């Protein structure tokens, strides 16, 4: 456990305090901290190293970047926030952080707006009929289903043919517009599209029999929040099905497909499901593509008790 006295001494430096306030709100890379703070990489890296050595921050590799987040004790953070009120730059820092996070969301939204009407014609990593079939086998008696991060709704339209109601949620206005028009054209009156974020979907709590995250979780800023959100909107006994990519090292996916995360391990996905409260958790690798970079599709299932 970090020494409280040493930690307080470390946080007497305004720059370190500003950094801790930022990574306490959101996991950030050195480049993002540079953008917010307007400081050089060397200075920020030095301060992060000291905070990490003191046990106040940790880092996790995400592609080419290390993402830093706060692991300081709650009582220390309470004192740090009081001290931060005396640092005049902190409000500006937090406003810049909000702008950066909005820019992240806009980049993802722009990518999917661009793709509206082209899914099924263009390649989407991990989206295979074999993997979808593995998931659909699990769909037997569900009545109300949500396709979270639905895109234009290929899966949602398949589901709508065998369940009472499907709610398709997507962050891209053009995807929602295209998908809804397609559903109307195909006479799928039980398929409703809603504009929203998978981390806070516009769906009533405990209203679903089944929620599906199909190749959507790796686009989420906070995958754990998306899984928690799915738990909230499921009825007791309801199930979550996750189809995503097995963790890989194909860095170009960030630029080519607007991926935020390079997939997940079986154990990592199982841990997220368990943390959200799911039980009877299953995971398996449902498919492996034969051409490079040989993406594998991960299937995870959990039941809300």
What's the rounded mean pLDDT across residues 69-93? 92
What digits encode the pLDDT tens for the residues 136-165? 545 556 789 999 999 878 888 888 888 899
Q: Is the pLDDT of residue 123 over 60?
A: no
Q: Which two tokens stand for residue 213?
A: 């995250």
Longest CA span, the chain: 67
Q: Are strands 296-303 and 234-245 parallel, antiparallel or unpaired?
A: antiparallel
What are phi and psi for residue 195, nearest 5 degrees?
-80, 125
pLDDT value for 207? 97
What digits encode the pLDDT tens for the residues 20-55? 999 999 889 898 898 888 888 999 999 999 999 999
3 state DSSP class of 261: coil
pLDDT value for 142? 74
DSSP state of 249: -
Mind listing the domains of the chain with CATH numbers? 4-103 (1.10.10.10), 129-303 (3.40.50.150)
Please give the residue that has the higher pLDDT: either 82 or 252.
82
What are phi and psi for residue 264, nearest 5 degrees?
-140, 150
For the chain, first and last CA: distance in Å? 35
Q: Using 50, 70 and 90 to split pLDDT, how confident is the model at 112? A: low
pLDDT value for 8? 85
pLDDT value for 119? 47
- Mapping DSSP onto H, E and C, the string for 162-220 reads CCCEEEEEECCHHHHHHHHHHHHHCCCCCEEEEECECCECCCCCCCEEEEEEECCHHHC
3 state DSSP class of 243: strand
Give Cα 40 distance to the centre of its chain: 29
Contact 172, 109 (CB under 8 A): yes
pTM, two decimals, is: 0.64
pLDDT value for 202? 97
Between 60-64, 96-100, 117-121, the lowest mean confidence (pLDDT) is in 117-121
Q: How large is the angle between the packed helices 14-23 and 90-115, nearest 10 degrees?
A: 30
What digits encode the pLDDT tens for the residues 196-251? 999 999 999 999 999 999 999 999 999 999 999 999 999 999 999 999 999 988 88
């Amino acid at each position: 456990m970090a020494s409280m006295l040493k930690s307080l001494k470390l946080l007497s430096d305004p720059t370190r305090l500003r950094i801790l306030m930022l990574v306490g709100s959101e996991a950030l890379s050195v480049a993002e901290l540079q953008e917010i703070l307007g400081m050089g990489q060397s200075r920020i890296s030095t301060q992060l190293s000291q905070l990490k050595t003191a046990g106040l921050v940790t880092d996790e590799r995400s592609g080419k970047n290390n993402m830093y987040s706060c692991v300081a004790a709650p009582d220390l953070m309470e004192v740090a926030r009081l001290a931060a009120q005396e640092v005049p730059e902190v409000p500006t820092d937090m406003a810049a952080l909000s702008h950066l996070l909005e820019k992240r969301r806009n980049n993802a939204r722009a990518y999917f707006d661009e793709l509206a009407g082209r899914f099924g014609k263009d390649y989407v990593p991990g989206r295979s009929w074999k993997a979808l079939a593995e998931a659909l086998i699990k769909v037997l008696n569900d009545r109300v289903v949500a396709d979270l991060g639905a895109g234009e709704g290929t899966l949602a339209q398949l589901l709508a043919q065998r369940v009472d109601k499907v709610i398709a949620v997507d962050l891209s206005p053009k995807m929602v517009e295209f998908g809804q028009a397609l559903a109307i054209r195909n006479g799928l009156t039980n398929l409703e599209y809603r504009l929203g974020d998978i981390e806070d979907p516009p769906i009533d709590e405990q209203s679903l029999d089944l929620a599906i995250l199909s190749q959507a979780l790796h686009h989420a800023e906070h995958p754990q929040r998306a899984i928690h959100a799915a738990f909230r909107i499921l009825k007791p006994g309801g199930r979550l099905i996750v189809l995503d990519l097995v963790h890989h090292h194909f860095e170009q996916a960030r630029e080519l497909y607007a991926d935020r995360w390079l997939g997940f391990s079986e154990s990592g996905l199982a841990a997220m499901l368990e943390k959200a409260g799911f039980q009877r958790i299953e995971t398996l690798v449902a498919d492996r593509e034969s051409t490079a970079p040989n993406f594998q599709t991960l299937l995870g299932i959990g039941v809300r008790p």
